[in-house]
Structure 1
Amino acid sequence: MSNEMFCFQCEQTAGCTGCTGKAGVCGKKADTAKLQDELTGALIGLARAVDSNGEGTQEVYNTIIEGLFTTITNVSFDNESLEKMIAKVRKLEQALAPDCGSCASPCGKNSEFNMDDLWTANEDIRSLKSLILFGIRGMAAYAYHANVLGYTDEEVNKFFCEALFMIGYGEDQDTLLPVVLKVGEINLKCMALLDKANTETYGSPEPTTVSLTVEKGPFIVVTGHDLKDLQLLLEQTEGKGINIYTHGEMLPAHAYPKLKKFSHLKGNFGTAWQNQQKEFDNLPAPILYTTNCLMPPRKSYEDRVFTTEVVAFPGAVHIDDNKDFTPVIEKALALGGFTKDTEFTGINGGKEVTTGFGHAAILSHAGTVVEAVKSGALKHFFLVAGCDGAKPGRNYYTEFVKQTPKNSIVLTLACGKYRFNDLNLGEIGGLPRLMDMGQCNDAYGAIQVAVALAKAFNCSVNELPLSFVISWYEQKAVCILLTLLHLGIKNIKLGPSLPAFVSPNILNFLVENYGIAPITTPEQDLAELLGK
Structure 2
Amino acid sequence: MSNMFCFQCEQTAGGKGCTKVGVCGKQPDVAYKQDELICALVGLARAVNGNKPSDHTVELMLKGLFTTITNVNFNAETIGKLISEVEEEKNKLGGADDFSVNALWSGDSDIVSLRSTLLLGIKGMAAYAYHARVSGKSNDEVNNWFFKGMKAFGESHSLEEWLNLLMEFGMINLKCMELLDEANTSAYGTPVPTKVTTIIEKGPFIVVSGHDLCDLKQLLEQTEGKGINIYTHGEMLPAHGYPELKKFPHLKGNFGTAWQNQQKEFSDVPAAFLFTTNCLMPPKPSYMDRVFTTEVVSYPGLVHIDDVDGKKDFTPVIEKALELGGWPEDKIMTGINGGTELMTGFGHGTVLGVADKVIDAVKSGAIRHFFLVGGCDGAKPGRNYYTEFVQKAPKDTIILTLACGKFRFNDLNIGEIGGLPRIMDMGQCNDAYSAIKVAIALSKAFECDVNELPLTLVLSWYEQKAVCILLTLLALGIKNIYIGPSVPAFFSQNVLNVLVDKFNITPITTPEEDLKKILG
For the superposition of Structure 1 and Structure 2, which TM-score range results when normalised by the shorter chain? over 0.9
Matches within 5 A, 1:39-188: 39-51=37-49, 54-97=51-94, 100-101=95-96, 110=97, 112-188=98-174
The answer for the alignment partner of 2:3 in structure 1 is 4
Amino acid at match of 2:6: C
The answer for the alignment partner of 1:231 in structure 2 is 217
- Partners of 1:518 and 1:49 lie apart in 2 by 41
| Structure 1 stretches lacking a partner, 5+ long | 102-109
- Partners of 2:9 and 2:39 lie apart in 1 by 19
The answer for the alignment partner of 1:339 in structure 2 is 328
- Partners of 1:220 and 1:382 lie apart in 2 by 34
The answer for the alignment partner of 1:37 in structure 2 is 35
C-alpha displacement at 1:425, in angstroms? 1.1
- Is residue 217 of structure 1 aligned with residue 167 of structure 2? no
- Partners of 1:441 and 1:168 lie apart in 2 by 29
SS of the residue corresponding to residue 459 of structure 1 reads: coil
- Is the contact between residue 10 and residue 73 of structure 1 (CA under 8 Å) also seen in structure 2? yes
The answer for the alignment partner of 1:407 in structure 2 is 396
User: After superposition, what is the alpha-carbon deviation per residue over 1:489-510, rounded to whole angstroms, capped at 9, x for unaligned?
Assistant: 0010000001000101111100
SS of the residue corresponding to residue 5 of structure 1 reads: coil
Query: Aligned residues, how many?
Result: 517
The answer for the alignment partner of 2:271 in structure 1 is 285
C-alpha displacement at 1:422, in angstroms? 0.4
C-alpha displacement at 1:170, in angstroms? 3.0
- Partners of 1:154 and 1:411 lie apart in 2 by 32
Measured on the aligned residues, the alpha-carbon RMSD in Å equals: 0.8
User: After superposition, what is the alpha-carbon deviation per residue over 1:397-421, rounded to whole angstroms, capped at 9, x for unaligned?
Assistant: 0000001111110000000000000
The answer for the alignment partner of 1:445 in structure 2 is 434
Which one of the candidate residues 405, 408, 411 is aligned to 1:416? 405
- Partners of 2:52 and 2:149 lie apart in 1 by 15
C-alpha displacement at 1:3, in angstroms? 1.5
- Partners of 1:211 and 1:174 lie apart in 2 by 50
User: After superposition, what is the alpha-carbon deviation per residue over 1:28-76, rounded to whole angstroms, capped at 9, x for unaligned?
Assistant: 0000000000000000000000016x22111111110110000000000
- Partners of 1:348 and 1:429 lie apart in 2 by 25
Amino acid at match of 1:292: N
SS of the residue corresponding to residue 418 of structure 1 reads: helix
SS of the residue corresponding to residue 215 of structure 2 reads: helix
- Is the contact between residue 132 and residue 167 of structure 1 (CA under 8 Å) also seen in structure 2? no
- Partners of 1:458 and 1:127 lie apart in 2 by 37
- Partners of 2:372 and 2:153 lie apart in 1 by 32
Which one of the candidate residues 473, 477, 499 is aligned to 1:488? 477
C-alpha displacement at 1:174, in angstroms? 2.1
- Is the contact between residue 166 and residue 176 of structure 1 (CA under 8 Å) also seen in structure 2? no
The answer for the alignment partner of 1:507 in structure 2 is 496
The answer for the alignment partner of 2:17 in structure 1 is 18
- Partners of 1:440 and 1:366 lie apart in 2 by 22
- Partners of 1:113 and 1:224 lie apart in 2 by 32
- Partners of 2:471 and 2:339 lie apart in 1 by 34
Question: Which stretch shows the higher mean deviation, 438-447 or 56-65?
Answer: 56-65
Which one of the candidate residues 195, 220, 231 is aligned to 1:245? 231
| Structure 2 stretches lacking a partner, 5+ long | none
User: After superposition, what is the alpha-carbon deviation per residue over 1:112-168, rounded to whole angstroms, capped at 9, x for unaligned?
Assistant: 311212212211010011111000000000000000001000000000000001122
Identity %: 65
- Is the contact between residue 170 and residue 176 of structure 1 (CA under 8 Å) also seen in structure 2? no
TM-score by length of 2: 0.99
C-alpha displacement at 1:176, in angstroms? 1.2
The answer for the alignment partner of 1:384 in structure 2 is 373
C-alpha displacement at 1:346, in angstroms? 0.5
- Partners of 1:326 and 1:333 lie apart in 2 by 10
SS of the residue corresponding to residue 5 of structure 2 reads: strand
The answer for the alignment partner of 1:104 in structure 2 is none
User: After superposition, what is the alpha-carbon deviation per residue over 1:274-310, rounded to whole angstroms, capped at 9, x for unaligned?
Assistant: 0000000011001000000000000100001100000
- Partners of 1:340 and 1:182 lie apart in 2 by 54
- Partners of 2:277 and 2:199 lie apart in 1 by 24
TM-score by length of 1: 0.96
- Is the contact between residue 307 and residue 318 of structure 1 (CA under 8 Å) also seen in structure 2? yes
- Partners of 1:361 and 1:141 lie apart in 2 by 25
